[in-house]
Amino acid sequence: MAWVAGRHWRVIERSCPVVRFMGVPIIELRQRCEPDLRQATHRAGFGVCATPAMPMSAFLAAPVRVLCAPFQRRDPLLGTLVIVAVFFLLGLCRLAIPSKTMFDEIHYIPAARRLIELSRRLNPEHPLLGKEMIAIGMRLFGDHPFGWRFPNLVLGSVGLFAGARAMWWASGSRRISLLFAFLIATDFIWFVLSRIAMLDMAMASMLALGLWQWALSARGKWADRRGGRIHLILVGTFFGLSLGGKWNGAPLMVLPGLLFAWQRAAALDLLGSARPVRARAVPGAVLRWITATRAGPVRGVSLAEAGLWLGLWPVVVYLATFAPQFFFKVQPLTLGGLITWQRYMLQLQDSVVKPHRYMSQWWQWILNLRPIWFLYEHIDGEQRGVLMIGNPFTMLAGLPALGWCAWKGWKGEGLPALIVVLYVLSLIFWAMNGKPVQFYYHYELAACFLMAALALVVGRWWDAGLVWPGRVVLLVTMAVFIGFYPIISAGPLPGKKGYLDYAWLKSWR
């Protein structure tokens, strides 16, 4: 029924001999029957993915079409697992090198030790989850470089898998999903942050898991069979854990709830109407919008309940990550001070004003202009370095792909519009906040959506028969990754001037 209402009347026009035999004009029949069909569609809980019946621009209709692409037959699960396994093995190589702390590990490893001891707070300006993961690694493998860094390699591999699955459920394309997994694995940023004991991978991997569950919840047949409510609860759980790693993903977390509200209004035909709406009917329409359950995007879940799982529940999970702090021997946290502590953390974040050699601004990240040397010295018997930089090819190739997605989104395509919005939200967190000292690795989330744009463009062309752009992207990306692998994995270098082979621009030094 959902496919009859709206944009698929042309199917009836081509394939309904009864209509032709009766001699009734198709346009007249459509005018008579479409309102009844639409009402039946909404009562059945379908229609979310169809073109909205209400008059609106293509751009405003795009949110209704998000996550509604038809599936190809073959699930890319096996190919995804292969990419993740290769990523994990490459990350495992030289994971314990350097044999001392590098860059911000100097802050987080002592803080993890205090967590193990439950002695006192250290590094109070950040939430605890990332430090808790480092502490788990230290308890399992020992207080040494492998134990410090292994948890983030696991989180990076899990996040890579979750991101690829989210793209599969969002795009329905096997090629786009596999391309996305490959591009994230080789974008350098995800790889380097998976091999260092910092907090960013705890944040990013949990966010990827949440987006995966969101994509699952929006797929009607899957959600009806598996329980859309469960997926929404998991979305909120992983979003809360992501906040427990770092706050970077907070702007993105409002999007699932907003889209749920918009799609529910579209499913109930509340976004607009050809007939004027009486003022006294508005309260009833709003109440129906908030309480209705037999409509998309997730049947059986009202907007009010979705607000609980996507809005309140993540906050509860986030606050729960502070549980160890209640048992500190010195200045333990109290329930009454939990909210006050959040304000104190924010003040500490804004108090970091001392300039840093590698500090940069958000517009420099877009052009890959100011990377960071996490390490460059003679250590463990060799001259070694770890350069935090984006893949020089894909970071630039993704920009025109992002422009293509913006154009397609303006024309009303849901997934390209979603990718652009997620990219902008990832950047706007840094462009608008008052933190004066920022670094290139803060581009981590935005770079993921940049890779999503590139995968979407190249994958669609490939699916349509235009193969050579995809092959060029694969070959060049792989060649650049192999060439830079020593400098992103603490490999041995020819000498003190070895960095010149990788510092293509003066600003990279």
Q: Cα 403 from chain centroid?
A: 19
Q: What is the pLDDT of residue 143?
A: 95
Six-digit token string for 336: 């009454």
Query: According to the model, what pLDDT value does residue 158 have?
Result: 98
The closest of 157, 241, 153 to 197, measured between CA atoms, is 153
Average pLDDT estimate for 152-162: 98
Identify the band that residue 186 occupies on the pLDDT scale cut at 50, 70 and 90: very high
Q: pTM (2 decimals)?
A: 0.87
* Contact between 178 and 80 (Cβ < 8 Å): yes
Residues 381-423 pLDDT 10s: 999 999 999 999 999 999 999 999 999 999 888 899 999 999 9
C-alpha dist (Å) from residue 196 to 18, 252, 359, 413? 68, 25, 19, 38
438 backbone φψ class: left, alpha, beta (φ>0; ψ -120 to 50): beta
Question: With bands split at pLDDT 50, 70 and 90, how would you rate the model's confidence at 133?
Answer: very high
In this predicted structure, what is the pLDDT of residue 300? 85
| Phi, psi at 438, each rounded to 5° | -130, 160
Higher-confidence residue of 439 and 54: namely 439
| Beta-bridge mates of residue 377 | 384
User: What is the SS3 string spanning 167-198?
Assistant: HHHHHCCHHHHHHHHHHHHCCCHHHHHCCCCC
What's the chain's average pLDDT?
85
| Contacts (Cβ under 8 Å, ≥6 apart) of 181 | 79, 80, 83, 84, 160, 161, 163, 164, 167
Please list, in sequence order, all residues whose beta carbon lies within 8 angstroms of the beta carbon of residue 339, skipping any fewer than 6 positions away: none
Ranges 14-23, 164-173, 231-240, 357-366: which has the least confidence = 14-23
Confidence of residue 73 (pLDDT cuts 50, 70, 90): low
Q: Name the band, by pLDDT with cuts 50, 70 and 90, for residue 4.
A: very low
